[in-house]
């Protein structure tokens, strides 16, 4: 399948984070943003991350994203070049005093999950450098972002599963372990839980196969889904019913795909990624993201936009040069940030360089 080269050709921010107003006209390929800490580089990436479903790369609340001394709302507008078809106009933001996210696609109000029809956005941030050593919840969110790029319905299924689980937790917290409504809620949990479990399992299997054939400067990663397989909703319904007594004692649901974790192994060293050095963990993550981007292009026909915050940190010069070569081949658009423009001097060929000048992004090429 030939992958469509979708990329942003324009990005405009209004009252978003530190940006009163910013407008960028862009081209495909690598985009390197340089500037001191606190200049607003990551804010640009966060804005782009909101062109996909979810809470963005910082997982902040929407009101937190509004400019501190602004009117209380913000807007992000983007033009997406679809690589042959008509461009798509995408907008998102909140009204002043509101916490409800609005999404518009070509001028029509749409639910946020509809963004998966047009955009696939993946990111790495410094906060993820210790992803493998942190809590399972962070790895689950990372896995779900990878899964969503391959299975666009995953976000809705996961949201409905979580909503049903919250209702079940409320009921068992009240001691209603034989309530007919509990049975109905468990059926909902099982229906969407099986969808979540199957999508994650398929994504991990496909990504594991892609990683097994990956070549390049990064250590080889082995991945596996750590959790019980719930391929059948009937199996999960029965397990939930059997677990009611234990769950009532615990005050929460103890089984289901919300307990999943992602296991990652540094294959050359034969050890868990959590035991690797910070630099090795970052290299493993980069390898996973690059393999996944190729997998998404192969399976969906659409190359994802990559957001790599402080990507050059912990990488030596040779590995940086190798990384830039791989990213340049991936396309169609990769955004990178760094404190010093010299970090990007090994970028091959043509690229776009953006410098933060007094908090304002200025395109230098």
Write the CATH number for 73. 3.40.50.300
Residue 293 lies in a domain: no
Q: How far apart are CA 65 and CA 63, in angstroms?
A: 5
Residue 331 lies in a domain: yes
Per-residue pLDDT of the chain (365 residues; tens, 9 = 90+): 345 668 999 999 999 999 999 999 998 899 999 999 999 999 999 999 999 998 999 999 999 999 999 999 999 999 999 877 899 999 999 999 898 999 999 999 999 989 988 888 999 999 898 899 999 999 999 999 999 999 989 999 999 999 999 999 999 988 776 778 899 999 999 999 999 999 999 999 999 999 999 888 888 999 999 999 999 999 999 999 999 999 999 999 999 999 999 999 999 999 999 999 888 898 899 999 999 999 998 998 888 899 999 988 777 788 888 889 889 888 679 999 999 888 998 898 889 999 999 999 999 86
| Structural domain that includes position 52 | 1-120+305-365
Q: Confirm if 161 and 192 have CB atoms less than 8 A apart.
A: yes
Residue 40 lies in a domain: yes
The residue ranges of DSSP E strands in 214-278, in sequence order, are 221-226, 261-266, 271-272
Residue 197 lies in a domain: no
Residue 318 lies in a domain: yes
Residue 245 lies in a domain: no
Residue 279 lies in a domain: no
> What angle (nearest 5°) sits at the alpha carbon of residue 293, between those of residues 288 and 296?
120
Q: How far apart are CA 246 and CA 232, in angstroms?
A: 22
Q: Which residues contact 107 (CB under 8 A, 6 or more apart)?
A: 89
How many domains does the chain contain in total? 1
User: Tokens at residue 67, please?
Assistant: 């400019």
Run of H or E including 251: none
Residue 341 lies in a domain: yes
Q: How far apart are CA 204 and CA 265, in angstroms?
A: 13
């Amino acid at each position: 399948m030939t992958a469509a080269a979708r990329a942003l050709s324009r990005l405009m921010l209004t009252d978003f984070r530190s940006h009163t107003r910013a407008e960028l006209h862009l081209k495909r390929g690598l985009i390197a943003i340089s500037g001191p800490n606190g200049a607003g580089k990551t804010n640009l990436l966060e804005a782009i991350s909101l062109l996909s479903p979810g809470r963005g790369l910082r997982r902040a609340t929407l009101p937190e994203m509004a400019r501190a001394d602004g009117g209380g709302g913000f807007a992000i507008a983007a033009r997406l070049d679809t690589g042959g078809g008509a461009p798509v106009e995408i907008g998102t933001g909140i009204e002043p005093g509101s916490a409800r996210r609005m999404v518009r696609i070509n001028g029509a109000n749409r639910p946020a999950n509809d963004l998966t029809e047009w955009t696939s956005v993946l990111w790495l941030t410094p906060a993820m450098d210790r992803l493998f050593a942190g809590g399972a919840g962070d790895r689950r969110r990372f896995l779900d972002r990878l899964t969503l790029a391959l299975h666009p319905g995953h976000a809705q299924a996961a949201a409905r599963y979580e909503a049903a689980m919250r209702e079940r937790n409320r009921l068992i917290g009240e001691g209603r372990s034989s309530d007919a409504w509990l049975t109905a809620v468990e059926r909902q949990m099982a229906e969407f839980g099986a969808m979540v479990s199957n999508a994650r399992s398929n994504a991990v299997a496909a990504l594991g196969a892609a990683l097994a054939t990956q070549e390049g400067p990064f250590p080889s990663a082995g991945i596996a889904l750590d959790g019980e397989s719930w391929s059948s909703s009937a199996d999960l319904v029965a397990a939930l019913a059997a677990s009611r007594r234990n769950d009532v004692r615990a005050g929460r649901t103890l089984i289901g795909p919300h307990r999943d974790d992602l296991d990652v192994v540094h294959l050359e060293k034969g050890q868990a990624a959590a035991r690797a050095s910070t630099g090795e963990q970052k290299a493993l993550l980069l390898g996973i993201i690059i393999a996944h981007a190729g997998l998404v292009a192969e399976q969906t026909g659409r190359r994802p936009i990559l957001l790599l915050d402080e990507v050059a940190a912990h990488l030596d010069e040779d590995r940086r040069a190798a990384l830039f070569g791989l990213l340049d081949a991936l396309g169609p658009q990769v955004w990178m940030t760094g404190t010093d423009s010299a970090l990007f001097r090994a970028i091959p060929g043509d690229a776009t360089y953006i410098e933060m000048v007094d908090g304002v992004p200025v395109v230098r090429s």
